[in-house]
Amino acid sequence: MLDEGQVKAAFTEFTVNLPSIGSGQDKVVFRAEDGPDEFALKVMSWAIPDDEDLGDTSPTATTMERFDREMLAMRTVSCPHVATITHGPEVRSIGGKNHLWFGEPLLNGGTLASVRAGGRLTEGAVIDLARALFTAIAAMWGAGQLVHRDIKPRNIGYIDGRVVLTDFGAVLFTGLSPLTSPSIAGPGTQLYASPEQFAPRRNTTLDFRSDLFQVGIVLHEAITGVHPFHGRGSDYYAALTSYDPASLDGTDCPETLKTLVGRLLSERPAERFRSPELALQMLEDGL
């Protein structure tokens, strides 16, 4: 556990505001100020061992490799809807232990989870959200066949009204050996996972179409205010693999969005979209 007071003391060049504003599986997030500019200071909650020979397969080595890939993903992808690194990454001694840290733009408009607060978004906001997420997924796949794997409301934020996808801690580089199970990454992820994250398929790895499925869940929630699968009986996987597009009937959602969400939430990747650009094109053509 990080002592937040020690974090503030360790970053004398910034103003670190306490308490922290969020935490995930590996990171604690603080609102920090670098002169007039605010940013999100993200500090790894685990410390780097001092003298331990990590080896290639130790849990710490794997976690550090994950961190490196997260940084690499954020540097590799150039897209207005993908979070960038503003500071670091570096190692900082906090309370006598070495911790990795980096900075991201502060989500001054909050996360989708806080904006939605269990309710619905307006039609315009849903369309902006869909457009941004398809663009982000296209940028990630185009930059190196990266799969985010953890698209959910708390990893989607707003900076000056712009939708931004954040937290690449679970990112999959399809060209590299996997570091984590292909399935579930962090808190809350299970509710947004695709069928193939629960049941890996023969001769395939995850690809951008898993991210598209996650976007489908996010959009359904944004349109209706409720999760499309949660609470539909005791067999969650059965519900997950049998989305009924009619569940959007009765909403004032445009037909294009209904069709789009239905395609995104198809059980099989082959029934979604061959590319994120095609999903974006369907959205734009229908508006």
Partner 1 sequence: MFYVQHGYGKARKVDEVIGDGHVSGVILSPGHEDASTLEVTARTYIDAGLDVLVDPQSYIYTTKPQGALRFHDRNGVNLSSMHWSESANSLLGHLSSVEGLAVRLGLRDRIIAPAPFNATLSDYWMPVGLQYARTASSQWRRSEVFASIAISQDALSDWATVQDWLDAATLLDVRGFYLVVSRPSGMYPPLPWDPRLLANLLRVIHTLSVINGFEVIWGYADVDGLLGLAAGAAGIASGWSYSLRQFSIDRYFQERSGGAQPIPRLLVPELLSDLRTTEIADIIEIAGGGGIGSLNPGSSGSMAELSNRDAQVGHLIELARLADEIGSAPLSSRLRIVRERVAQALSQLNDLGTQRITVEVRHVARLRSYADALELFARETTR
- As measured in angstroms, the least distance from the Cβ of 150 to partner 1 is 21
CB nearer to partner 1: pick between 123 and 207: 207
CB nearer to partner 1: pick between 196 and 221: 196
SS (H, E, C) 6-65: HHHHHCCCCEEEEEEEEECCCEEEEEEEECCEEEEEEEECCCECCCCCCCCCCHHHHHHH
Please state, in angstroms and as integers, the Cα–Cα distance from residue 16 to each residue in 44, 125, 165, following that order.
15, 32, 23
- As measured in angstroms, the least distance from the Cβ of 286 to partner 1 is 16
- As measured in angstroms, the least distance from the Cβ of 266 to partner 1 is 8
DSSP string computed for 128-171: HHHHHHHHHHHHHHHHHSEE-----GGGEEEETTEEEE---TT-
- As measured in angstroms, the least distance from the Cβ of 279 to partner 1 is 12
CB nearer to partner 1: pick between 110 and 200: 200
CB nearer to partner 1: pick between 90 and 271: 271
CB nearer to partner 1: pick between 186 and 276: 276
Please state, in angstroms and as integers, the Cα–Cα distance from residue 66 to each residue in 44, 179, 185, following that order.
12, 7, 12
SS (H, E, C) 178-218: CCCCCCCCCCCHHHHCCHHHHCCCCCCCCCHHHHHHHHHHH
- As measured in angstroms, the least distance from the Cβ of 202 to partner 1 is 5
- As measured in angstroms, the least distance from the Cβ of 179 to partner 1 is 22
CB nearer to partner 1: pick between 201 and 230: 201
Interface contacts to partner 1, rule CB under 8 A: 196, 201-204, 207, 263, 268-271, 273-274, 278
CB nearer to partner 1: pick between 12 and 203: 203
Is residue 252 classed exposed, middle or buried when 0-12, 13-18 and 19+ CB atoms within 10 A define those classes?
exposed
- As measured in angstroms, the least distance from the Cβ of 176 to partner 1 is 17
C-alpha dihedral over 224, 225, 227, 228, to 10 degrees? -10
